[in-house]
Amino acid sequence: MNRARLIIFNAALGPLDYRVPEGMHVEPGSVVVAPLGPRQIVGIVWEAERLPASEVPEAKLRPLVGPLPVPPLKSELRRLIEWTADYYCAPIAAVARMVLASGGALRGPATMTEYRLSGGMPERMTPQREAAIEALDGEQATIRELAGMAGVSEGVLRGLVNQGVLEPVEVDCDRPYPPARADFAAPKLSPAQAEVAKRFVSAVEARRFAPFLLDGVTGSGKTECYLEAVAKGLEMGRQTLVLLPEIALTEAFLRRFEDRFGVPPVVWHSSLKSTERRRAWRSIAAGQAQVVVGARSALFLPYANLGLIVVDEAHEISFKQDDGVRYNARDVAVMRARFEQIPVVLASATPALESLQMAESGVYERLVLEDRYGGARLPDIDTIDLTEEKPERGRWLAPRLVAQMEARLARGEQSLLFLNRRGYAPLTLCRNCGFRFECPNCTAWLVEHRFSQRLACHHCGHETAPPPACPECGELDCLVACGPGVERIADEVAEILPEARVAVVTSDTVNSPERAAEFVARAESGAIDVIVGTQLVTKGFHFPELTLVGVVDADLGLEGGDLRAAERTYQQVAQVAGRAGRGEKPGEVLIQTRHPAAPVIAALAAGDRDAFYAAETEARRQAGAPPFGRWAAIIVSSEDEAEAREAAHHIGDARPDVADVAILGPAPAPLALLRGRYRYRFLLNARRSAQVQDVIRDWLEALKFPQGVRVSVDIDPYSF
Ligand code: ADP
Ligand code: ZN
């Protein structure tokens, strides 16, 4: 080949052609460095016939600089990149960028320099130096990362390096991970578990595409079952990827993994240090990393020898990425397994309706674990009708729930209160004039966080200190909190049960694997009596002394017009209920609601999962919603409201007329202003068989927009 067509990271530029100099070897999948203007960029060599033709004559092509010392991307992975770009209507460059982990993982040397405190002191102390030294105690990272942690400039830290206060440490990013041992501590499986594990193991052995839906109640040992398949992969020298939803909560999983295989797995998530990221990426590409536990982005890594994919808590909505390439990792995982010809396990106690439907139609093999392991019973579930059993004035917990919490406290057992709302109160207003605090960048109220004394937007991160006076009428000390958030519930618990030790668990308080581990250790040691948490607490935890779960407001998720509102409420409540009674003592769940007769609440109280899924299936069928019909969205945004509106109408004017696709809009998107951008949206509702991506591509292809306009496509959207 003397001409190479590259996918490069810059989505706006599309594929570019280069000349391959005499004597240089590249092949499809090679990761190469190429000149672009005065700079050098990283790209991937692609098969020319799969990309649009180039018009640049041979003589004008610039020569490649050369390949990077990493293995070429395998054809299975290149097919996945193409499929993902195609299915989600995303630029192929944007997908390729996820594979190369934005390039940072593979560019540069295998050895990197990190720095840590040497124990020495600078000749001249400044407030900044002092702050940095204090903040970096026990840390080791690159200068840039340390600067971020300490909140000072890189220049300040370089000064400390020159003074010998920070000392260099060479980190070898090619050092191998210690080997896992398949037989380190194998459990004795129950007959039902053994049956399931056998299916997985033989599929790993057979090296064939086999999608499984592992549908088992919370605590039934789903994890134990798929770890047997991981063990098989280890024996065979093949790699396994385990995808998990909330990366902050993998600490418990990592420890469990270590207990089973003797070493922790390789982890992959967005907050890895650059040395960890580089080491993991290289080791995965070289085939040395045996088991990778990661967030959804781990799905696009260049495994040398993948033998199994597991998606745990597969129903979780956090597998859906909502910016950049808007993909659903659960679905892409199945496609990757298909391209790689390997088994994939979707594990859940509350599968998505789409997954159940795939099992029903025979595409997925559904395996069921009906009972909790070791005879632990599923908890008893009861509702509290808030219209009859009213909490005291200014409170949110009904007397019956409080009485049960008191009883737990007296017995030395734990209670868990679930409310999916961070902060103290969702809305803050002025008692004098009714002024409401709104985010300047988003269509959203600011949420009071009393612990950190901030008003914060949960969409864009905007924060301000609560002002002493109302910005509208000037009244002093006038702010009133409306409605409860977890912090307010924690305050209420402290008032009602002053001797109880209360822990608030949200992404504000448990925001790193270390903090998660701390929390788990405290809860396990019995140092916490009442846990108050958001959806972070609904999964993964296993606390034997936890015997009461209170759902503070089950109606919360049902508000708004979300297509999956009922399903999500069902999943969240069923998952959080599954935290109760996992040990020897039976568990109890109390659900506070104003609508005890709503189908989803009634099904939860009756423990009748089938009834819920049947009703929900029927509702979706009638609405033409997934899995019976398809939705897609086109979102047009700009920082300028008029520009966004005009662009939306420009698109609307070109609206195609297609038989089995209904096009709604443009209308202001549900968050009409988000992170400073005004948003309009089209919704497409199509028959399942319709080629909705082709319709969208044809529609948008020829349209031109001003610079500030962004048009993005969301296939199978989650937020409506
Ligand atoms: P799930 O993933 O279905 O929620 P887990 O795999 O976490 O269930 O199992 C629940 C609890 O039961 C865990 O503490 C696990 O260690 C234990 N357990 C499950 N199966 C076995 C087994 N065969 N032998 C020993 N302990 C088991
Ligand atoms: Zn905002």
Closest by Cα among 600, 602, 594 to 571: 600
CA dist 188 → 191, 203, 216, 278 (Å): 9, 21, 18, 37
Ligand 1 pocket residue status of 207, Cβ below 6 Å? no
Q: For residue 22, how far is its CA from the centre of ligand 2 (angstroms)?
A: 54
Q: Which pLDDT tens digit goes with each residue over 348-388?
A: 999 999 999 999 999 999 999 998 888 878 889 999 999 99
Provide the 3-class DSSP secondary structure of residue 117.
Answer: strand
Q: What is the pLDDT of residue 50?
A: 66
Mean pLDDT to the nearest integer, 566-578: 90
Q: What is the pLDDT of residue 317?
A: 87
Residue 671: nearest ligand to its CA? 2
Residue 460: nearest ligand to its CA? 2
Q: Give, using CA atoms, the residue closest to atom 23 of ligand 1.
A: 189
Q: What is the pLDDT of residue 103?
A: 52
Mean pLDDT to the nearest integer, 414-433: 92
| 273 vs 303: which has the higher pLDDT | 303
Q: Give, using CA atoms, the residue closest to atom 18 of ligand 1.
A: 221
Q: What is the pLDDT of residue 249?
A: 58
| 53 vs 708: which has the higher pLDDT | 708
| 489 vs 52: which has the higher pLDDT | 489
Q: What is the pLDDT of residue 44?
A: 93
Q: For residue 148, how far is its CA from the centre of ligand 2 (angstroms)?
A: 23
Ligand 1 pocket residue status of 256, Cβ below 6 Å? no
Q: What is the largest CA-CA distance in the chain?
A: 84
Mean pLDDT to the nearest integer, 92-118: 81
Confidence of residue 591 (pLDDT cuts 50, 70, 90): very high
Ligand 1 pocket residue status of 189, Cβ below 6 Å? yes
Provide the 3-class DSSP secondary structure of residue 611.
Answer: helix
Beta bridge partners of 487: none
Ligand 1 pocket residue status of 372, Cβ below 6 Å? no
Mean pLDDT to the nearest integer, 197-205: 97
The preferred substitution site among 223, 228, 256, 315 for testing ligand 1, maximizing ligand atoms within 8 Å of CB, is 223
Q: Give, using CA atoms, the residue closest to atom 15 of ligand 1.
A: 221
In this predicted structure, the answer to whether residue 546 has a pLDDT above a threshold of 60 is: yes
Annotated binding site: 430, 433, 439, 442, 457, 460, 470, 473
Model ipTM?
0.98
Q: For residue 184, how far is its CA from the centre of ligand 1 (angstroms)?
A: 17
Q: What is the pLDDT of residue 51?
A: 64
CA dist 600 → 244, 553, 564, 610 (Å): 26, 14, 12, 11
Q: Give, using CA atoms, the residue closest to atom 25 of ligand 1.
A: 187
Mean pLDDT to the nearest integer, 269-280: 88
Ligand 1 pocket residue status of 343, Cβ below 6 Å? no
Closest by Cα among 91, 517, 552, 119 to 327: 91
Confidence of residue 421 (pLDDT cuts 50, 70, 90): very high
Q: Which pLDDT tens digit goes with each residue over 47-58?
A: 866 666 667 777
Q: For residue 479, how far is its CA from the centre of ligand 2 (angstroms)?
A: 20
Q: What is the pLDDT of residue 52?
A: 67
Q: What is the pLDDT of residue 582?
A: 81
Provide the 3-class DSSP secondary structure of residue 6.
Answer: strand
In this predicted structure, the answer to whether residue 247 has a pLDDT above a threshold of 70 is: no
Say if CB 509 and CB 516 are below 8 A apart.
no
The preferred substitution site among 242, 346, 348, 373 for testing ligand 1, maximizing ligand atoms within 8 Å of CB, is 373
Q: What is the pLDDT of residue 3?
A: 85
Tell me the percentage of the chain whose pLDDT exceeds 90. Answer: 67
Q: Nearest-5° angle of CA 315, CA 319, CA 322?
A: 130
Q: For residue 463, how far is its CA from the centre of ligand 2 (angstroms)?
A: 9
Say if CB 9 and CB 38 are below 8 A apart.
no
In this predicted structure, the answer to whether residue 707 has a pLDDT above a threshold of 90 is: yes
